[in-house]
Amino acid sequence: MRRPAPSQTELPLPQGEGDVLLRLLRASFRLASFRPYQEQVCRAVHGGADVLLIMPTGAGKSLCYQLPGLARGGTTLVVSPLIALMEDQAAKLVELGLRAERIHSGRDRGDSRQICRQYLDGELDFLFIAPERLAVPGFPELLAQRRLALIAVDEAHCISHWGHDFRPDYRMLGQRLPGLRPTPVIALTATATLRVQDDIAAQLGIPEARRFVHGFRRTNIAIEVAEARPTARREVVASLLAEPGRRPAIVYAPTRRDADALGEELSASLPAASYHAGMETAARERVQQAFQNGQLQVIVATIAFGMGIDKPDVRTVIHTGLPGTLEGYYQEIGRAGRDGLPSRAFLLYSYSDRRTHDFFYERSYPQVEVVANIHEALTDTPQSAEELGQRLRLETEVVERGLEQLWIHGGARVDPEGRARRGHDQWAHAYAEQRRHREMQLDDIVRFAQGHHCRMLHLVRHFGDQEDSGEPCGTCDVCAPGQVLVGSTRGMTPVEAEVAGQVLEALRRRDGLTTGQLFRQISEDGDAPAGLDRRGFEQLLGALARSGMIELEEDSFEKEGRAIRFERARLTAAGHHADAAALPRLRLAAGPGATPAGGKRRRPAGASARTRPSRSPGGPGSRPEADEEEATPDFGSTAVVEALRAWRVREARRRGVPAFRILTDRALLALATTRPRSQQALLTVSGIGPAIAKQYGPALLALVRGEA
């Protein structure tokens, strides 16, 4: 990118100002002052310290490497996992008159070679690269020919397998960075718990890095959570967005099919469209641009949408299903209200959402016993996933998943052809920990949805914000139940009021009981009505908490190295003096289409037992309805399969990774069966996402057409 002429709107240089950071802030970045928390981070990085920065989406993380990198002189290397993010950030820097370039799979080789020459000649202020670029032979050595000013690792949570978006390609950073040191490193992310922070620092070799964790409270976002059956959610979304003041809006849907259906439905009355990974790149870019410039007021998307998007006036973010992690949820609601004006976030969920997550959890993380059997079958002689599957009587896909986990944790050595040999024997503990951690992430988001505490404070505590006041937000559905827009309430039944009285009486006898102890105690006394299940009991406790009669506080204990979280109930002064006549006036939460308290959970219309996850990976059991249809391999297309396998091996050798990291066997067979004829058709193939389609699309289409 060429450096444009300086803008006439640049702020004047402060006269006599000796502070280089302030001079560049005003002259190069055209900003009059720092945002909260930015200055201390910039000064630490400028001084040469390694830094780990955890700051929420929209809080100004990018300036924290851009400003000190420019002030240190030379080139700042920025490692980023997303092409769209690189393109957006590089373009903004060029608009400011800075020299920024990027090397990724979307650039042709001629452009990349020219950029490398510019780097060696000292003509770049910023160079953006994808993490896998460091695996290209000779590229790390080229970078080491010049002393870098700064190394910035963006979306650093991707390096940690404890994070919500772990990417094995990021692991190589720890191997490559020593060759570029002693240049300081800043790792940046919007979402990292303490455990993820520790892992980032360890993986990047910056154990003494200064940590900055703050700014997670979004005072202008009111969060509302409501239990709603899937069949009721479209009507809720349409009703919310009918009010012009709640637009622009982003609606997150669980699957591509859901996004398309809801986008089409909303477009009948609103400027709305869907956005997901199954669309052609050009179509996605048109939708994104139309949303950015205001032609579209609503975008219905899967989680493929949002990274690098900086639209300040989004008023509403709606999730029409339970997110996979609290980290991902927080990042997504953070796209609302970046202009500082009041905004709202709605989460609609039901019990069935957790079942769907459980299915994909089991598929992505096979049981430890299954992976152990695969490891035991490995020898010093290379074996393919198909051979192992035949020996172990497991589906090839299950074996591939197991081999990938063994490869990540060192239990298998996998060559570019995808053939595996046995690795070390110390993999099991780390894998079991990772598997438990992923399950705990699901527990965390369910606990958040069903919780009775301030929503924003729950999120702030989850991330360990160092600067937060610890005060309730005052605007969420828990803090301000009278202002909810989706959730509704109902009066207690006589039996529920009776149980509420028993809860207060039990706490008068022994305050601080856990909610589990309360439930068991009342049940054992024989007084709990048969129709009130544990979920109904939790709703009743929530009503008592909202009335001010009890307080629910979070607690935990360690068991086998795992934090077990629970809640304790404590009586307030109002609860001590409450009489039986006050209890029937309490209100229970009752969202649209929610399961009645104490009633049996009804399966959503159209669902059947096949939506239940199989608890035995590789065994019988069908997947829930998902983004793409299963492909039935056509083994008559042998020539195409072999051509695809040969291409996959060549690409794996070039990148130095196992073949299944390029394309899984399942995706390869689906390609050979469906034989897509266009980029759009390619994106409908199971296992082919936009990154693969963009990087390898022309080659794959030529192969399935027999032209290569």
Task: Enter the tokens of residue 235.
Answer: 């009507």
pLDDT digits (tens, 9 = 90+) for 36-50: 889 999 999 999 999
- For 128-191, the three-class secondary structure string (H helix, E strand, C coil) is EECHHHHHCCCHHHHHCCCCCCEEEECCHHHHCCCCCCCCHHHHHHHHHHHHHCCCCEEEEECC
> Which of the following CATH numbers is that of domain 489-589: 1.10.240.10, 3.90.76.10, 1.10.10.10, 3.40.50.720?
1.10.10.10
Q: Are 213 and 465 in contact (CB under 8 A)?
A: yes
Q: Are 536 and 597 in contact (CB under 8 A)?
A: yes
Half-sphere exposure of residue 74, counting CA atoms within 13 Å on the CB side? 16
> Which of the following CATH numbers is that of domain 20-213: 3.40.50.620, 3.40.50.300, 3.10.110.10, 3.30.420.40?
3.40.50.300
- In angstroms, rounded to a whole number, what is the distance separating the alpha carbons of residues 327 and 331? 6
Coil/strand/helix, residue 26: helix
- In angstroms, rounded to a whole number, what is the distance separating the alpha carbons of residues 499 and 522? 8
By CB atoms closer than 10 A (0-12, 13-18, 19+), residue 251 is: buried
- In angstroms, rounded to a whole number, what is the distance separating the alpha carbons of residues 301 and 309? 13
Dihedral class, residue 594 (left if φ above 0, else alpha if ψ from -120 to 50, else beta): beta
By CB atoms closer than 10 A (0-12, 13-18, 19+), residue 299 is: buried
Task: Give me the residue spans of the domains in the chain.
Answer: 20-213, 221-353+446-463, 489-589, 630-708
Which residues make Cβ contacts (< 8 Å) with residue 665, sequence separation at least 6? 385, 386, 396, 397, 400, 418
Task: Enter the tokens of residue 352.
Answer: 């069935």
pLDDT of residue 465: 78
Low-confidence ranges of the chain (pLDDT < 70): 1-18, 163-165, 281, 304-310, 466, 488, 524-531, 558-563, 590-638, 686, 690-691, 707-708
- In angstroms, rounded to a whole number, what is the distance separating the alpha carbons of residues 250 and 292? 12
- In angstroms, rounded to a whole number, what is the distance separating the alpha carbons of residues 408 and 396? 18
- In angstroms, rounded to a whole number, what is the distance separating the alpha carbons of residues 542 and 215? 29
Q: How do 76-79 and 150-153 pair as beta strands?
A: parallel
Sheet of strand 272-275, all strands in order from the earlier edge strand to the far edge:
221-227, 343-349, 316-319, 249-252, 298-301, 272-275
pLDDT digits (tens, 9 = 90+) for 255-280: 888 999 999 999 999 999 998 877 77
Q: Was domain 630-708 assigned CATH 1.10.150.80?
A: yes
Q: Are 565 and 445 in contact (CB under 8 A)?
A: no
Class of domain 221-353+446-463: alpha beta
281: closest CA among 689, 699, 661, 663? Answer: 689
The values of phi and psi at residue 97, to 5°, are 90, 15
315: closest CA among 291, 292, 344? Answer: 344
Half-sphere exposure of residue 248, counting CA atoms within 13 Å on the CB side? 23
Using the structure block, give the residue that is written with the tokens 């200064």: 210
- In angstroms, rounded to a whole number, what is the distance separating the alpha carbons of residues 498 and 492? 9
pLDDT of residue 49: 95
pTM above 0.75, yes or no: no
Q: 221-353+446-463 and 630-708: same fold?
A: no
Residue 327, amino acid: E
- In angstroms, rounded to a whole number, what is the distance separating the alpha carbons of residues 524 and 535? 17
Using the structure block, give the residue that is written with the tokens 């720092």: 34
Using the structure block, give the residue that is written with the tokens 């009041």: 342
40: closest CA among 201, 214, 217? Answer: 214
